[in-house]
Amino acid sequence: MLVKALSVLVVLGLTLGAPTYDNQKPKGMPYDFGYGVQDEYRGVAYDHSEDSDGNVVRGSYSVLLPDGRMQIVTYEADHENGYRANVEYIGEAQFPSKSGTPVTFKPQTQNSYQQEQHQPQSLYQAPQQQQQLQYGQ
Look at residue 131 and tell me if it is in a domain.
no
> Could you read off the pLDDT of 11-37 as tens digits, one per residue?
777 777 667 777 777 778 999 999 999
Report which of residues 87 and 94 the model is more confident about: 87
Look at residue 79 and tell me if it is in a domain.
yes
Look at residue 51 and tell me if it is in a domain.
yes
Give me the residues paired with residue 64 across strands: 70
CB 67 within 8 A of CB 93: yes
CA 89-92-98 angle, 5° bins: 135
3-state secondary structure of 69: coil
3-state secondary structure of 15: helix
Look at residue 8 and tell me if it is in a domain.
no
Structural domain containing residue 46: 29-93
Residue type at position 3:
V
Q: Does pTM top 0.85 for this prediction?
A: no
Please state the rounded mean pLDDT for residues 83-112: 84
Query: For the ranges 22-36, 52-66, 108-122, which has the lowest average pLDDT?
Result: 108-122
Residue 26 confidence (pLDDT)? 76
Q: How many domains does the chain have?
A: 1
Look at residue 119 and tell me if it is in a domain.
no
Look at residue 78 and tell me if it is in a domain.
yes
Look at residue 121 and tell me if it is in a domain.
no
From 66, 60, 67, select the one nearest 88 (Cα to Cα). 60
Look at residue 11 and tell me if it is in a domain.
no
